[in-house]
Amino acid sequence: MERFSAVDVIRAKRDGARLSDEQIDWVIDAYTRGAVADEQMSALAMAIFLNGMDTDETARWTAAMVDSGETLTLHSDRPTVDKHSTGGVGDKITLPLAPLVAACGAAVPQLSGRGLGHTGGTLDKLESIPGWRASLTTEEILAQLRDVGAVVCAATEGLAPADRKLYALRDVTGTVESIPLIASSIMSKKIAEGADALVLDVKFGSGAFMKTADNARALAKALVGIGVSRGLKISALITDMSIPLGRAVGNAVEVAESIEVLRGDGPADVVELTLALAREMLDLAGLSDVDPGRMLASGEAYETWARMIRAQGGDPEAPLPEPKHVHVIKADRDGVVTKLDAYAVGVAAWRLGAGRARKEDPVQAAAGILCHAKPGESVRTGDPVLELRTDTPDAVAAALSTLEGAYEVGDTAPEIGPLILETIRP
| Residue 392 vs residues 115, 174, 255, 308, 404: alpha-carbon distances, Å | 19, 32, 21, 32, 20
Active-site residue (options: 13, 164, 189, 372): 189
Q: Looking at residue 395, what DSSP letter applies?
A: G
Whether 84 is catalytic is yes
Q: Is 77 exposed, middle or buried (0-12, 13-18, 19+ CB in 10 A)?
A: exposed
CB 295 within 8 A of CB 282: no
Q: Which of 94, 130, 96, 139 is CA-nearest to residue 114?
A: 94
Active-site residue (options: 92, 170, 203, 279): 170
> How many other CB atoms sit within 10 Å of the CB of residue 420?
16
Whether 42 is catalytic is no
Whether 78 is catalytic is no
Whether 8 is catalytic is no
* Distance (Å, whole) CA 401 – CA 213: 29
Active-site residue (options: 13, 84, 164, 203): 84
Q: Which of 288, 276, 77, 104 is CA-nearest to residue 196?
A: 77
Whether 325 is catalytic is no
Active-site residue (options: 163, 196, 240, 283): 163
Strand order in the sheet with 325-330: 248-250, 368-371, 384-390, 325-330
> How many other CB atoms sit within 10 Å of the CB of residue 52?
15
Residue positions annotated with a catalytic role: 84, 163, 170, 185, 189
